[in-house]
Amino acid sequence: MKASARDRLIIALDVGTRAEAISLALTLAPFAGWMKIGLQLFTAEGPDLVRAIRETGANVFLDLKLYDIPNTVARTVESVAGLDAQMLSLHLSGGGEMVRAAVAAAPEDLLLLGVTVLTSANSETLREVGMLEDVLRQVVRLAEIGADCGIGGIVASAREIAALRKAVGESLKLVTPGIRLRGSEEHDQKRIMTPAEAIAAGADYLVTGRPITAAPDPIIAARKIVEEIETCVFRTDRD
């Protein structure tokens, strides 16, 4: 039996205040078991907000995308350990020594996620910063570093799941942002997939923000996405 749509959906709370974040978390609780706190909200409201979101009943993905020298990253992971977040992200492009330091510092109940190539990036973005590898190759290369260093999960586009499963196996959790309903606005995301496509490809968790949080009615938008995930989970469950 696969995890339910609610267990797999992570809402990106990309808002600027505690009041907006808590209101969204409460409104969207029937649809998503996970709330993601990113740099905007964490910078504005600080660690207390993690506890406040936990009190709504949600699991928390603290999306800090750590990238620094190994010691700084490891000490930051220790600070996060006291916050009762269930997931924390770091950039795999920080390299193996940094990732190993983070893994060594993480408590067992904190799932460390390695970000590969941001879903807002494409091959031109990589070329601009001097990376000549194509996106898929770079995603797989970074994921392999993560797997070798004992990371718990990988963040990538759902488009890369087949290659990732081949490279790192079934045990790592695959978390996929860049989720858009067919025909809806892409915003700054480039490597997008629909909820159904991401589930069919084998994503463990789907991250979505603006399609729900910026919708005229977030409940209607969330319901649509959950229905699409449910239909697809049901179908893949029978296979």
Which of the 8 DSSP states describes residue 190?
-
Q: Which of 2, 36, 65, 166 is flagged as catalytic?
A: 65
CB closer to ligand C5P, 217 vs 237? 217
Q: Calculate the CA 44 to chain-centre distance.
A: 20
Chain residue whose CB lies nearest ligand C5P: 209
Q: Which stretch binds ligand C5P (CB under 6 A): 16-24, 51-59, 134-142, 204-212?
A: 204-212
User: Do 14 and 38 contact (CB within 8 A), yes or no?
Assistant: yes
Name the β-bridge partners of 12: 36
Using rule CB under 6 A, residue 177 touches ligand C5P: yes
Gap between the Cα atoms of 51 and 126, Å rounded: 36
User: Do 110 and 79 contact (CB within 8 A), yes or no?
Assistant: no
SS3 121: coil
Q: What is the nearest approach in angstroms of ligand C5P to the Cβ of residue 48?
A: 20
Give the DSSP letter string of 36-53.
Answer: EE-HHHHHHH-THHHHHH
Closest C-alpha to 9, from 226, 157, 168, 184: 226
Q: What is the nearest approach in angstroms of ligand C5P to the Cβ of residue 12?
A: 4
Q: What is the nearest approach in angstroms of ligand C5P to the Cβ of residue 237?
A: 25
Instruction: Find the binder of ligand C5P among 187, 200, 215, 231 (CB under 6 A).
Output: 187
Rounded to 5 degrees, φ, ψ at 163 are -65, -35
Q: Which of residues 136-155 bind ligand C5P (CB under 6 A)?
A: 155
Using rule CB under 6 A, residue 189 touches ligand C5P: yes
65 is known as an active-site residue: yes
CA distances to 125, 220, 227 from 136, in Å: 13, 34, 29
Instruction: Find the binder of ligand C5P among 35, 64, 115, 168 (CB under 6 A).
Output: 115
Gap between the Cα atoms of 63 and 87, Å rounded: 8
Using rule CB under 6 A, residue 90 touches ligand C5P: no
Instruction: Find the binder of ligand C5P among 5, 8, 9, 14 (CB under 6 A).
Output: 14
Instruction: Find the binder of ligand C5P among 83, 103, 118, 139 (CB under 6 A).
Output: 118
Q: What is the nearest approach in angstroms of ligand C5P to the Cβ of residue 217?
A: 16
Q: Which of residues 36-55 bind ligand C5P (CB under 6 A)?
A: 38
Gap between the Cα atoms of 194 and 202, Å rounded: 13
Gap between the Cα atoms of 75 and 121, Å rounded: 29
Instruction: Find the binder of ligand C5P among 5, 9, 12, 32 (CB under 6 A).
Output: 12
What type of residue is 83?
A: L
CB closer to ligand C5P, 108 vs 136? 136
Residues annotated as catalytic are 65
Residues that bind ligand C5P (CB under 6 A): 12, 14, 38, 63, 115, 118-119, 155, 177-178, 187, 189, 207-211
